[in-house]
Every structure is written in C-alpha cells, then in structure tokens.
Amino acid sequence: MRPTPRLLLSHPTHFISLGFGAGLSPWAPGTVGTLLAWALYPLIRTPLSEFVFLALLASLFVAGVIAAERTGQALGVPDHGGIVWDEMVATWLVLAFAPKTLLWQAIAVALFRFFDIVKPPPVRWADRSFKGGFGVMFDDLVAAGYTLLALAVLVTLFGI
C-alpha cells in the first residue's frame, strides 16, 4: 500500500511519520525527507541551546517510534519507505554536530544518505534486529553515528 494524502491527514502520527508529506514522494522519499529536514534545520536549531536541541531530538525520536509503529501498521508494512521521520531526526542529529558551513552540511547529508541506503554493518544488523517503530528509528541513528565518524575523519584530514 502506498501512503496517500488522505492517510497523511487522517492522524497526527501519520503526518509526523510521513515527514509532513515528504514520504508521499514517488521518487526516493527517504532522500526527500532528508532534504526537507536539512531545509528545516535552521528554523528549529537557531533559537535553541545545544542541550535543549538535543533534548528535543530525543523527544522527536520517541515520537517517531510511536508514529512509525502506527503508520507501519496502517500501511501493512512495518518499515515502509514512505516513513521518513527516521531520516529527518537522524539528519537533524548529524547537522547538530557537523561543521556549520553549507559545504560541510552537504557532505554530512550525502554521507548520511550513503550509510542509510548502503547499510554497512552494524547499520544492517540494527535494521534486521529491531522491529516496529523502534527498529525504524534506530537503524538511522546507527547510520548517523557512521556519518559523524566519517565527518570527524574528513574534518581532521581537510580541516574546516
């Protein structure tokens, strides 16, 4: 079953898990959700201290577990590609620790999509081992961890 605008608007959890509509994209909804998260990042990050922003991300992760579970059940597919809240929260986490220039943010977003799509171990392990809403959200956190490690190496090698 494909997510529809009707499903998106039928319950707040679907609106969240489908990334405010990004998950309805017929082409690469995960990438569309990631790009939307990048575009929204300055709006949600700027007014908040680092601690408050990280606490917000933890809350958004928990909300994502609940929303992804409910939407997965509604679609009949636990980790449907249209569920993009996991990509959005992970992107915000990556951007919180990435260097603040547009170039480094673009590198961070590209690296995250690479690790999320390719799913090298242990991302693949997390994807296969955990099910339901938590599983949907958790493998993207692992991909975000890979991204942050790769960014740290690149920043060390090439500077900011």
Residues 117-135 pLDDT 10s: 999 999 999 999 999 999 9
Please answer whether residues 87 and 34 qualify as being in contact, where contact means their C-beta atoms are separated by less than 8 angstroms.
yes
Domain with 96 in it: 5-158
Q: How many domains does the chain have?
A: 1
% of residues, the chain, pLDDT over 90: 96
pLDDT, tens digit (0-9, with 9 covering 90-100), for 38-94: 999 999 998 899 999 999 999 999 999 999 999 999 999 999 999 999 999 999 999
12 pLDDT tier (thresholds 50, 70, 90):
very high
Helix (H, G, I), strand (E, B) or coil at 47: coil
Hey, what amino acid is at 152? A
pTM over 0.75: yes
